[in-house]
Amino acid sequence: AQASLLRFAEAVGSPFAPEKHQAMGREGDFLGLWHDFSNTHHTGTVQFWVRERLQTKVNDFIKEALHSRRLTSGTASKLFGCLTFLTPGCYGKLGRAGLNAIKDRQYSSETRVDDVLHTALQRLLGLFRLQPHRELPMPLGMRRVIVASDAAQDAPRQGSAGAVVVDGDGNRFAYVMQVVPQLFDLWSADEAKIAQLELMIVLMTVAHATDHFRGLPGLWWIDNIAALMAVVRGRSNNNELDQMAGAIHAILYSVKCPLFFEWVHSPDNWSDGISRRGSSDEWYQAHGFAASTFAPCLLLLQLPYLLVIEIFAYL
Protein backbone atom coordinates (compact mmCIF):
# COMPACT_ATOMS: atom_id res chain seq x y z
CA ALA A 1 0.00 0.00 0.00
CA GLN A 2 2.79 2.40 0.83
CA ALA A 3 4.69 1.60 -2.37
CA SER A 4 1.53 2.15 -4.45
CA LEU A 5 0.92 5.51 -2.75
CA LEU A 6 4.49 6.61 -3.45
CA ARG A 7 4.17 5.69 -7.14
CA PHE A 8 0.83 7.50 -7.35
CA ALA A 9 2.26 10.66 -5.77
CA GLU A 10 5.16 10.57 -8.22
CA ALA A 11 2.81 9.98 -11.20
CA VAL A 12 0.72 13.06 -10.39
CA GLY A 13 3.84 15.18 -10.08
CA SER A 14 4.01 15.56 -6.27
CA PRO A 15 6.42 12.93 -4.94
CA PHE A 16 7.23 12.72 -1.25
CA ALA A 17 10.59 14.16 -0.26
CA PRO A 18 13.05 11.36 0.67
CA GLU A 19 13.56 12.77 4.18
CA LYS A 20 9.79 12.91 4.76
CA HIS A 21 9.07 9.19 4.58
CA GLN A 22 10.67 5.85 5.34
CA ALA A 23 10.16 2.38 3.94
CA MET A 24 7.93 -0.08 5.77
CA GLY A 25 9.90 -2.36 8.06
CA ARG A 26 10.00 -4.18 11.37
CA GLU A 27 11.88 -1.27 12.91
CA GLY A 28 11.54 2.44 12.40
CA ASP A 29 12.25 5.88 13.82
CA PHE A 30 9.46 8.43 14.08
CA LEU A 31 8.99 11.63 16.12
CA GLY A 32 12.00 10.94 18.32
CA LEU A 33 11.06 7.35 19.13
CA TRP A 34 12.40 4.09 17.74
CA HIS A 35 9.83 1.28 17.43
CA ASP A 36 10.24 -2.47 16.89
CA PHE A 37 7.62 -4.91 15.58
CA SER A 38 10.04 -7.83 15.12
CA ASN A 39 8.88 -9.78 18.20
CA THR A 40 5.22 -8.76 18.20
CA HIS A 41 3.98 -12.19 17.08
CA HIS A 42 5.81 -13.82 20.00
CA THR A 43 5.43 -11.27 22.81
CA GLY A 44 2.19 -9.55 21.79
CA THR A 45 3.84 -6.16 22.30
CA VAL A 46 5.46 -3.38 20.30
CA GLN A 47 8.63 -1.99 21.84
CA PHE A 48 9.62 1.68 21.87
CA TRP A 49 12.81 3.43 22.87
CA VAL A 50 14.39 6.83 22.53
CA ARG A 51 16.00 7.95 19.28
CA GLU A 52 19.74 7.35 19.67
CA ARG A 53 20.65 10.92 18.69
CA LEU A 54 18.51 12.35 21.50
CA GLN A 55 19.84 9.87 24.05
CA THR A 56 23.42 10.77 23.09
CA LYS A 57 22.64 14.48 23.44
CA VAL A 58 21.19 14.04 26.94
CA ASN A 59 24.07 11.80 28.02
CA ASP A 60 26.57 14.42 26.88
CA PHE A 61 24.77 17.14 28.88
CA ILE A 62 24.81 15.00 32.02
CA LYS A 63 28.38 13.78 31.75
CA GLU A 64 29.69 17.29 31.12
CA ALA A 65 27.82 18.61 34.17
CA LEU A 66 29.17 15.81 36.37
CA HIS A 67 32.70 16.26 35.07
CA SER A 68 32.81 20.05 35.43
CA ARG A 69 30.56 20.13 38.54
CA ARG A 70 28.68 22.97 36.83
CA LEU A 71 25.16 23.22 35.44
CA THR A 72 24.00 26.62 34.23
CA SER A 73 20.36 27.65 33.99
CA GLY A 74 20.52 27.56 30.18
CA THR A 75 21.91 24.04 30.05
CA ALA A 76 19.45 22.93 32.72
CA SER A 77 16.59 24.29 30.60
CA LYS A 78 17.79 22.37 27.53
CA LEU A 79 18.31 19.22 29.60
CA PHE A 80 14.89 19.42 31.27
CA GLY A 81 13.22 19.99 27.90
CA CYS A 82 14.98 16.98 26.38
CA LEU A 83 14.14 14.80 29.37
CA THR A 84 10.42 15.62 29.37
CA PHE A 85 10.35 14.71 25.67
CA LEU A 86 12.55 11.65 26.11
CA THR A 87 10.74 9.98 29.01
CA PRO A 88 7.65 8.92 26.99
CA GLY A 89 10.00 6.38 25.40
CA CYS A 90 10.59 4.81 28.81
CA TYR A 91 8.39 2.09 30.28
CA GLY A 92 5.26 3.74 31.69
CA LYS A 93 6.28 7.05 33.20
CA LEU A 94 9.59 5.75 34.54
CA GLY A 95 12.27 8.42 34.55
CA ARG A 96 10.06 11.45 35.12
CA ALA A 97 10.34 11.51 38.91
CA GLY A 98 13.44 13.03 40.50
CA LEU A 99 13.74 15.91 38.02
CA ASN A 100 12.77 18.74 40.39
CA ALA A 101 16.38 19.74 41.06
CA ILE A 102 17.01 20.10 37.31
CA LYS A 103 13.72 21.95 36.78
CA ASP A 104 14.50 24.42 39.60
CA ARG A 105 18.01 25.10 38.27
CA GLN A 106 16.42 26.68 35.17
CA TYR A 107 15.45 29.68 37.30
CA SER A 108 18.59 29.94 39.45
CA SER A 109 21.83 31.90 39.04
CA GLU A 110 23.68 29.12 40.87
CA THR A 111 25.94 26.97 38.67
CA ARG A 112 27.48 24.52 41.15
CA VAL A 113 26.30 20.89 41.00
CA ASP A 114 25.33 20.25 44.61
CA ASP A 115 24.57 16.85 46.16
CA VAL A 116 20.88 16.92 45.20
CA LEU A 117 21.66 17.70 41.55
CA HIS A 118 24.48 15.16 41.51
CA THR A 119 22.09 12.45 42.71
CA ALA A 120 19.49 13.39 40.08
CA LEU A 121 22.06 13.30 37.26
CA GLN A 122 23.56 10.00 38.38
CA ARG A 123 20.06 8.52 38.57
CA LEU A 124 19.42 9.49 34.95
CA LEU A 125 22.66 7.86 33.79
CA GLY A 126 21.58 4.69 35.55
CA LEU A 127 18.22 4.86 33.81
CA PHE A 128 19.84 5.04 30.38
CA ARG A 129 22.03 2.07 31.22
CA LEU A 130 18.90 0.15 32.19
CA GLN A 131 17.09 1.14 28.97
CA PRO A 132 13.52 0.41 30.17
CA HIS A 133 11.88 0.07 26.74
CA ARG A 134 8.25 1.09 26.63
CA GLU A 135 5.94 -1.77 25.57
CA LEU A 136 2.51 -1.43 24.01
CA PRO A 137 0.36 -4.59 24.25
CA MET A 138 -1.37 -5.48 20.99
CA PRO A 139 -3.83 -8.37 21.53
CA LEU A 140 -7.47 -7.69 22.38
CA GLY A 141 -9.44 -9.57 24.98
CA MET A 142 -6.48 -10.09 27.26
CA ARG A 143 -6.61 -10.55 31.03
CA ARG A 144 -6.58 -7.27 32.94
CA VAL A 145 -6.45 -6.06 36.52
CA ILE A 146 -8.84 -3.37 37.79
CA VAL A 147 -8.18 -1.34 40.95
CA ALA A 148 -9.81 1.50 42.88
CA SER A 149 -8.12 3.19 45.82
CA ASP A 150 -8.97 5.97 48.23
CA ALA A 151 -7.82 7.66 51.44
CA ALA A 152 -9.30 9.91 54.10
CA GLN A 153 -7.88 12.42 56.55
CA ASP A 154 -10.09 14.05 59.17
CA ALA A 155 -7.36 15.37 61.50
CA PRO A 156 -3.62 16.21 61.36
CA ARG A 157 -1.31 13.16 61.55
CA GLN A 158 -4.27 10.82 61.25
CA GLY A 159 -5.81 9.06 58.31
CA SER A 160 -7.04 5.88 56.70
CA ALA A 161 -6.70 4.27 53.29
CA GLY A 162 -7.84 1.25 51.33
CA ALA A 163 -8.01 -0.34 47.89
CA VAL A 164 -10.06 -2.97 46.08
CA VAL A 165 -8.57 -5.16 43.36
CA VAL A 166 -10.10 -7.42 40.72
CA ASP A 167 -7.27 -9.57 39.36
CA GLY A 168 -6.87 -11.04 35.88
CA ASP A 169 -8.92 -14.11 36.79
CA GLY A 170 -11.79 -12.13 38.29
CA ASN A 171 -10.84 -12.79 41.92
CA ARG A 172 -11.67 -9.91 44.28
CA PHE A 173 -9.39 -8.60 47.02
CA ALA A 174 -9.67 -5.66 49.40
CA TYR A 175 -6.73 -4.08 51.24
CA VAL A 176 -6.68 -1.82 54.28
CA MET A 177 -3.49 0.13 54.96
CA GLN A 178 -2.62 0.96 58.56
CA VAL A 179 -1.76 4.67 58.67
CA VAL A 180 0.91 4.77 61.38
CA PRO A 181 2.30 7.98 62.99
CA GLN A 182 5.79 7.19 61.68
CA LEU A 183 4.49 7.76 58.16
CA PHE A 184 3.86 11.44 58.84
CA ASP A 185 7.37 11.78 60.34
CA LEU A 186 8.77 11.25 56.82
CA TRP A 187 6.78 14.16 55.41
CA SER A 188 6.81 17.90 56.02
CA ALA A 189 4.91 19.46 58.93
CA ASP A 190 1.96 20.63 56.78
CA GLU A 191 -1.28 19.38 58.30
CA ALA A 192 -3.05 18.45 55.05
CA LYS A 193 -1.57 15.20 53.71
CA ILE A 194 -4.55 13.71 51.89
CA ALA A 195 -2.78 13.65 48.49
CA GLN A 196 0.19 11.89 50.09
CA LEU A 197 -2.10 9.29 51.67
CA GLU A 198 -3.93 8.80 48.36
CA LEU A 199 -0.66 8.09 46.57
CA MET A 200 0.71 6.03 49.44
CA ILE A 201 -2.12 3.50 49.18
CA VAL A 202 -1.36 3.14 45.46
CA LEU A 203 2.33 2.52 46.17
CA MET A 204 1.74 0.10 49.01
CA THR A 205 -0.97 -1.87 47.19
CA VAL A 206 1.33 -2.38 44.21
CA ALA A 207 4.22 -3.30 46.51
CA HIS A 208 2.17 -5.56 48.79
CA ALA A 209 0.24 -7.43 46.10
CA THR A 210 2.63 -7.59 43.14
CA ASP A 211 1.28 -11.00 42.10
CA HIS A 212 -1.98 -9.32 41.06
CA PHE A 213 -0.13 -7.04 38.65
CA ARG A 214 2.72 -9.10 37.26
CA GLY A 215 2.60 -9.24 33.48
CA LEU A 216 -0.92 -7.78 33.21
CA PRO A 217 -2.20 -4.44 31.90
CA GLY A 218 -4.87 -2.73 33.92
CA LEU A 219 -6.95 0.24 34.95
CA TRP A 220 -6.67 2.13 38.26
CA TRP A 221 -9.30 4.56 39.55
CA ILE A 222 -8.35 7.49 41.87
CA ASP A 223 -10.60 10.35 43.01
CA ASN A 224 -7.89 12.76 44.24
CA ILE A 225 -6.66 15.05 41.46
CA ALA A 226 -3.24 15.85 42.97
CA ALA A 227 -2.40 12.18 43.51
CA LEU A 228 -3.82 11.22 40.13
CA MET A 229 -1.80 13.85 38.26
CA ALA A 230 1.40 12.81 40.03
CA VAL A 231 1.04 9.20 38.93
CA VAL A 232 -0.24 10.11 35.43
CA ARG A 233 2.68 12.46 34.83
CA GLY A 234 5.13 10.19 36.62
CA ARG A 235 6.41 13.15 38.62
CA SER A 236 5.27 16.04 40.79
CA ASN A 237 6.56 19.45 41.85
CA ASN A 238 5.88 18.27 45.40
CA ASN A 239 8.91 16.20 46.42
CA GLU A 240 6.87 13.84 48.60
CA LEU A 241 4.49 12.97 45.76
CA ASP A 242 7.41 12.91 43.30
CA GLN A 243 9.25 10.22 45.28
CA MET A 244 6.15 8.03 45.51
CA ALA A 245 5.31 8.45 41.82
CA GLY A 246 8.83 7.34 40.92
CA ALA A 247 8.60 4.29 43.19
CA ILE A 248 5.18 3.31 41.80
CA HIS A 249 6.39 3.33 38.21
CA ALA A 250 9.60 1.56 39.21
CA ILE A 251 7.61 -1.35 40.67
CA LEU A 252 5.25 -1.45 37.68
CA TYR A 253 8.26 -1.65 35.38
CA SER A 254 9.76 -4.47 37.46
CA VAL A 255 6.58 -6.56 37.24
CA LYS A 256 5.87 -5.55 33.61
CA CYS A 257 2.46 -4.06 34.34
CA PRO A 258 1.29 -1.18 32.10
CA LEU A 259 -1.43 0.57 34.10
CA PHE A 260 -3.80 3.30 32.93
CA PHE A 261 -4.75 5.71 35.74
CA GLU A 262 -8.07 7.55 35.58
CA TRP A 263 -10.19 9.86 37.74
CA VAL A 264 -13.41 8.66 39.33
CA HIS A 265 -16.08 10.71 41.10
CA SER A 266 -15.82 10.08 44.87
CA PRO A 267 -19.39 8.74 45.31
CA ASP A 268 -18.67 6.22 42.53
CA ASN A 269 -15.35 5.06 43.99
CA TRP A 270 -15.59 1.38 45.01
CA SER A 271 -12.93 1.92 47.67
CA ASP A 272 -14.55 4.91 49.40
CA GLY A 273 -16.09 2.79 52.17
CA ILE A 274 -13.10 0.60 52.93
CA SER A 275 -10.81 3.62 52.98
CA ARG A 276 -12.87 5.15 55.80
CA ARG A 277 -14.30 2.21 57.71
CA GLY A 278 -11.64 -0.38 57.04
CA SER A 279 -12.62 -4.04 57.34
CA SER A 280 -16.00 -3.08 58.83
CA ASP A 281 -17.15 -1.59 55.52
CA GLU A 282 -20.24 -3.32 54.17
CA TRP A 283 -19.79 -2.54 50.45
CA TYR A 284 -16.73 -4.70 49.84
CA GLN A 285 -18.28 -7.57 51.83
CA ALA A 286 -21.52 -7.41 49.86
CA HIS A 287 -19.58 -7.59 46.60
CA GLY A 288 -17.42 -10.58 47.45
CA PHE A 289 -14.02 -8.98 48.15
CA ALA A 290 -11.70 -10.83 50.54
CA ALA A 291 -10.10 -8.30 52.88
CA SER A 292 -6.65 -8.14 54.50
CA THR A 293 -4.69 -5.46 56.36
CA PHE A 294 -1.05 -4.43 55.96
CA ALA A 295 1.34 -1.88 57.43
CA PRO A 296 3.15 0.49 55.05
CA CYS A 297 6.79 -0.23 54.24
CA LEU A 298 8.32 3.15 55.10
CA LEU A 299 11.67 2.21 53.56
CA LEU A 300 10.12 2.47 50.08
CA LEU A 301 9.76 6.23 50.59
CA GLN A 302 13.50 6.60 51.06
CA LEU A 303 15.00 4.35 48.38
CA PRO A 304 16.12 5.60 44.93
CA TYR A 305 13.69 4.22 42.38
CA LEU A 306 16.45 2.42 40.48
CA LEU A 307 17.11 0.39 43.64
CA VAL A 308 13.37 -0.25 43.90
CA ILE A 309 13.51 -1.73 40.38
CA GLU A 310 16.31 -4.10 41.36
CA ILE A 311 14.51 -5.24 44.51
CA PHE A 312 11.16 -6.00 42.88
CA ALA A 313 12.79 -7.61 39.86
CA TYR A 314 13.90 -10.45 42.13
CA LEU A 315 10.82 -10.82 44.34
Inform me whether the pLDDT recorded for 19 exceeds 90: no
Instruction: Answer yes or no: are the C-beta atoms of 66 and 114 closer than 8 Å.
Output: no
The tens digit of pLDDT for each residue in 90-122 reads 888 888 888 999 999 999 999 999 999 999 999
**Angle CA 217–221–224, to nearest 5:** 140
- In this prediction the pTM is 0.84
Close Cβ partners of 99 (under 8 Å, ≥ 6 residues apart): 80, 83, 84, 120, 235
Tens of pLDDT, residues 48-61:
888 888 889 999 99
